[in-house]
Amino acid sequence: MGEAIYLRINPKHVHYLNRVMEGYEYLGIVSTVNRNAGIVIIRTTADTVNEVRNIVAHLDIPIEVVHDEELKNFM
C-alpha cells in the first residue's frame, strides 16, 4: 500500500524537491497539491517512507510537514 507525505515549501523550491527525489531513483513521486500555498505530496511506498522522510528532513530548504487535519484548508 502506498504512503503519502504532505509538505509546505516555498513554491520556488518544488522543482528542487522533485530533482532530489529523481536523484534518489524516485523513492518518492512529487506532485503539487496547491501551487499558491506551496503544498506538495510525495507518494512513496510503505517500505521507503521513512527513508524519504529522512531525505526531506536533511534538505537545506525550509520545509513544514502538513498533517491530515490541515489539508482541508488547502484543497
CATH number for the domain spanning 13: value is 3.30.70.2810
Q: Which domain holds residue 56?
A: 2-71
Q: How many domains does one find in the chain?
A: 1
pLDDT digits (tens, 9 = 90+) for 8-53: 999 999 999 999 999 999 899 999 999 999 999 999 999 999 999 9
DSSP H or E run through 55: helix 49-57
Secondary structure of 12-31 in HEC code, one letter for each residue: HHHHHHHHHHHHCCCCCEEE
pTM exceeds 0.85: yes
Angstrom distance (rounded) from CA 25 to CA 19: 10
Cβ(11)–Cβ(38) below 8 Å: yes
